Structure 1
């Protein structure tokens, strides 16, 4: 998730330090293929230019200056679609000021929360859902709409609670009405429906500790009347950094969590599509301490066991108070969180297992034993100012066609062949540093196997942002289709202008 359009600034967070297009590029470069974008009615109707709602770095966001929130959302949707990112719009609340428990406001004491200081009805909510469904219907990567975020409090699934019989608070018929209208406006969309808190109907187990939006138990006996090929059940679940459940203090924590997840939402997969719409936390650095680290790993283990890696992680930027983001306060990617997500996606081993013995680290703070760093038409420096992780990375200042190679040899120039059929890919982190050189798009990586067998890094990082590191994994088949032995890993400026770039964490992966 990348929030901001739902908050009082009505635009993506951190545009006071980052470029909006660069944010999308970075999210894609990290391996995400979809972004959940929360919005509110204010996003659609507030006409104040976004640069008057919050400071926006002009040089990085010039095309947003003077634009209304809706105009900025239009640009954002088009750019994310252009970059091939799937988009889930999330109707996050009826107000930018607070997370309201229902999809309507009929209490006059709360009218001040609404953009026009009037009641906001169920029909208004459906009108706004239909509006965005139709407005972005031509974007092929517009995936779906999460129709309301975390209905809670007075909300019940449907009839059944003797203490809450007002049908206006029943989520099931409201969600069905919204889905019907949205699909009429845009039949290509998926309808993401969140759960509720306890239904108190005497049928479900209402004593299970649950988050807002997490409980789907009534779906088993009061199923949603939404086409099954369009319905996505989208629970929210959080650990102790966000909400401390009684289950976290149980003697059998975290082994006790899977049964609760099964009851609340897991029982429906794979009968239904189930995509967790929010989860996250500071992963050991927040109020929940190490317990949140344990909880997040337990959820990943659970999802792997269910064969369901599809989730939306909360969130991208660091300023979500209880969870933090994928980026830290210095806007560096947090490697532990990314390793957790890559494990879920199947790109990394479980946390209780060491890296594959077949992986070979070539550079991590220093060149590995029996490897050497050699520049040509360039200078290379192992420095500590611009670093992805650890204490050092390689700075390369290359002239025309210059670059560096990591050579598989010792200090006495005794070379060692690396078997071409042993490794599947080359992994590394790359940055343009504080200033993006015009030639960054020409940077390529190859082995010492001849002209033409190279990987253009721009195929993996479409554009670079100042000071941002990008993790790249290149299949060795791109650079070594015949799987022959090689002795060098080469990074080259393939342009007629000088270029400075930085490389860190170079690993051959089995």
Structure 2
């Protein structure tokens, strides 16, 4: 499914895993400390009206009312199936109904540029269960899913997860899918969903990161070829030229030595460089930063072995991404976080993270990874039958979910969807 993660500068490959040999600075914090957003007053439930924009670190709807993403990832369209997974087992409407019923108000839908190519035929689907999807392209299937999600009051983030269907990339481009294709495909999607207020955001590229030897994505280094912050500006502004209503979601990287930061995080998880080198967009109030955060069962990191764990975690999160909300700079979406809960520390980590993100519409936005039980790193909210809910995982999230409220009339459905 996902990734090897670099967590330090001095690295050694052991059995295909990347491990750190660099010591981390102490980042201890008091137990039970909540993110400042948790203290903001809650507003009406649901996902608001019209398109969303930002007001400092708060997301608001078209009327200015505070809203919040409390969502989930449903992956598969980024793979060689070219559609969300599980449609071999269930009807897509039933799956959306279940997600909305569990309280998830936002869908993060990964896709690949390859999915958009002619000849990328969706496969791995039971058409007896999904007869209205027969003969459709991957994008047309996403239209169906998005249209139905909108009818339930859910919002959707499109996540460019991979260039091709085989694997993720440390940079936003590859030889087969250069930057021009990445940007052109984003502009095509922005136009395609223009006027459809179900689709609120574009997550530009999943988990940019460095690679062993110092190549890959950087933040603030100034290179057109490798500076992810500059690339995000180019793509974000191109998307806004095609659809100025979309939120532009920019993930972090893992290591930002160009800012003097000695601490590395998860792929896509380190936004410490955004203080010195913020993303600049031509349309105001459209920028959302995004970080990914995982448990020790996914990959062991030094902070899980700190004697002060889990009390050390809030200061770590402040450093990597929380300061952006604490200082009212921009909203942060924790776009991926998840766990098998196999290690006892995983439950401590997840409980601490949920407290940190806070409750109500003033809390930090999140989309849990994932609905799918076939995530090798984390498993899913659904169990292996693609129907039963993992109630242990769901119980951690339940107090923080803001359920969607179905719109009146047909608002939210994509034309023709």
TM-score (norm 1): 0.61
For residue 401 of structure 2, the aligned residue among 321, 345, 357 is: 345
Counterpart for residue 152 of structure 2:
83
Q: 59-68 or 172-181, which moves further after superposition? A: 59-68
In the other structure, the counterpart of 2:33 is none
State how far apart, in whole Å, the 2-side matches of 1:169 and 1:313 are: 29
Cα deviation, residue 70, structure 1: 2.1
TM-superposed deviation, 1:340: 1.1
**Residue 128 of structure 1 aligns to a residue in which SS?**
helix
**Aligned partner of residue 101 in structure 1, secondary structure:** coil
2:286 corresponds in structure 1 to 230
The yes-or-no answer on 1:252 pairing with 2:308 is: yes
State the structure with more CA Rg.
1
> Which of 365, 380, 398 is the matching residue for 1:325?
380
Call closer, same or farther: CA 1:47–1:78 in 2, change over 3 Å: farther
Q: Structure 2 matches for 1:348-359, cutoff 5 A? A: none
Task: Give 1:335's aligned residue.
Answer: 391
Q: Deviations over 1:425-475 (max 9, x none)?
A: xxxxxxxxxxxxxxxxxxxxxxxxxxxxxxxxxx99xxxxxxxxxxxxxxx
The aligned residue for residue 275 of structure 1 is: 333
Which stretches in structure 1 are left out of the alignment for 5+ residues?
107-118, 161-165, 348-458, 461-510
Task: Describe the superposition over 1:171-219 as per-residue Cα deviations: whole angstroms up to 9, x where unpaired.
Answer: 1111001111101111111001000111212x3422x241001111111
- Which residue in the other structure is 1:156 paired with? 218
With a CA cutoff of 8 Å and minimum separation of 6, indicate the structure with the bigger relative contact order. 2
Structure 1 range deviating more: 328-337 or 30-39: 328-337
> What does residue 65 of structure 2 align with?
none
Q: Give the distance between the partners of 1:304 and 1:21, measured in 2 at CA.
A: 30
Contact 2:201 / 2:246 at 8 angstroms: preserved in 1?
A: yes
Shift of 1:159: 1.8
Q: In structure 2, what is the Cα distance between the partners aligned to 1:135 and 1:258?
A: 40
1:180 correspondence with 2:252: no
CA contact under 8 A between 1:102 and 1:152: conserved in structure 2? yes
| Number of the residue aligned with 2:350 | 296
- Paired with 2:252 and 2:292, the residues of 1 have a C-alpha distance of 8
Q: Deviations over 1:65-98 (max 9, x none)?
A: 2222122122222222233210100011111100
Per-residue displacement from partner, 1:133-162 (whole Å, max 9, x unpaired)?
1101131211111010000121101227xx
**Distance in 2 between the 1:69 and 1:200 partners?**
39
* Match in the other structure for 1:266: 322
- What SS class does the counterpart of residue 365 from structure 2 fall into? coil
CA contact (8 A) 1:193 1:231 kept: yes
Q: How does 1:134-173 map to 2 (within 5 A)?
A: 134-153=191-210, 154-159=216-221, 166-173=223-230
1:30 paired residue number: 102
Q: Name the CA distance, whole Å, in 1 between partners of 2:285 and 2:239.
A: 14
Which runs of 5 or more residues in structure 2 are unaligned? 1-72, 211-215, 408-417
SS in 2 for 1:100: coil
C-alpha displacement of 1:64: 1.2
State how many pairs are aligned. Answer: 324
Q: CA deviation at 1:228?
A: 4.7
Over 4 Å off, 4+ runs = none
Q: Tell me the residue number matched to 1:217.
A: 272
Alpha-carbon distance in 2 for matches of 1:333, 1:58: 24
